[in-house]
Amino acid sequence: MPSERFVHAGLDFELLRPSPRGDARSGARLEGRLAKSVLHGSSAEGRAPSAARIFCSLHRTRAHGPQGGAPVRVRWKGDVARAEAGSTRARLRLLSGGALAASVEAPTDEQAVEVVTAAALERVGGFLVHASGVLEGGEVMLFVGPSGAGKSTAVELSGKRFFTVDRAALVPVGDRWWAWRVPGGKPDEWERLEEGSCGAPLRGVYRVVHGEPGFEAAGGAEALTILRQACYGQPGGPEEELERLARLEGLARAIEVGRVRTRLGAPLELRGSA
């Protein structure tokens, strides 16, 4: 059975592709945005820390109905999870030692990895956020806000290349949080990515607002609101939402959270972070 080993979103994947006779796609390597969002090989080689190991068996299916942007629905019950988005269906199970096993039916590698990643992040205490960002001094600064708020503009005004476009995974590893790029956003923006780095320690998360360029710190309820509004995923039941907010509160204590003010045409000085 052909397999491919890579680190994506702080998760150490072993992607297994069954080889049905006559399927020319089995054994193909990762392509497109997903290929630009992974480090090949084992995280044990020292290139990036990993929050969990995933043994993922991929079974190809035909797409039906709209696929792009379909929300991922995840439900953990004990050590077993079901996840789905569009035509993609996945089941996950926690193994001894903290590893995960996943079986997924999906039209593409990107859709398979997206759904499994969403489920695994919930298990390891991570988050998927709507953000653009840059790499500054070896750390990631993420800009968040609703569509049209100016996240991509903030990157452009900083004079930096994109670390990530539209989405990022936030993953706790040891005593630090890491940010990872994940597929999303416009294809032309992916041509302006920072080369050679898919994941790095997270410095902070900043809500984009209009004003004289600069940074302001946010704390308490405001910091929690900024982080929660940036997260993908529905609240679920009351217990699930309370647990999510508790984890976000821990994240807010571990990183910088604030506002970044931007004005069209005015450069943004990153060293002035909160």
User: Residue 121 region, left (φ>0) first, then alpha (ψ -120 to 50), else beta?
Assistant: alpha
pLDDT of residue 49: 78
pLDDT of residue 186: 77
For 70, 88, 223, 243, 250, the CA distances from 240, given in Å and listed in that order, are 21, 23, 20, 5, 16
Rounded Cα distance, 207 and 201, in Å: 19
| Residues pairing with 39 in the sheet | 7
Q: pLDDT of the chain along its 274 residues, tens only?
A: 678 899 999 999 999 987 654 444 444 567 778 888 888 765 544 567 789 999 999 998 876 554 456 788 899 999 999 999 988 999 999 998 899 999 999 998 889 999 999 999 999 999 999 999 999 999 999 999 988 888 988 999 999 989 999 899 999 988 899 999 998 877 777 888 877 778 999 999 999 999 888 899 999 999 999 999 999 876 567 888 898 999 999 999 999 999 999 988 888 888 644 4
Closest to 145 (Cα-Cα) out of 155, 133, 134, 130: 130
The pair phi, psi for residue 73, each rounded to 5°, is: -110, 125
Architecture of domain 128-272: 3-Layer(aba) Sandwich (3.40)
pLDDT of residue 235: 57
Closest to 128 (Cα-Cα) out of 5, 37, 195: 37
Q: Delimit the domains of the chain by residue range.
A: 3-124, 128-272
Tokens of 256: 């910088």
Judge contact between 76 and 90, C-beta under 8 A: no
Rounded Cα distance, 162 and 33, in Å: 13
Rounded Cα distance, 249 and 220, in Å: 9
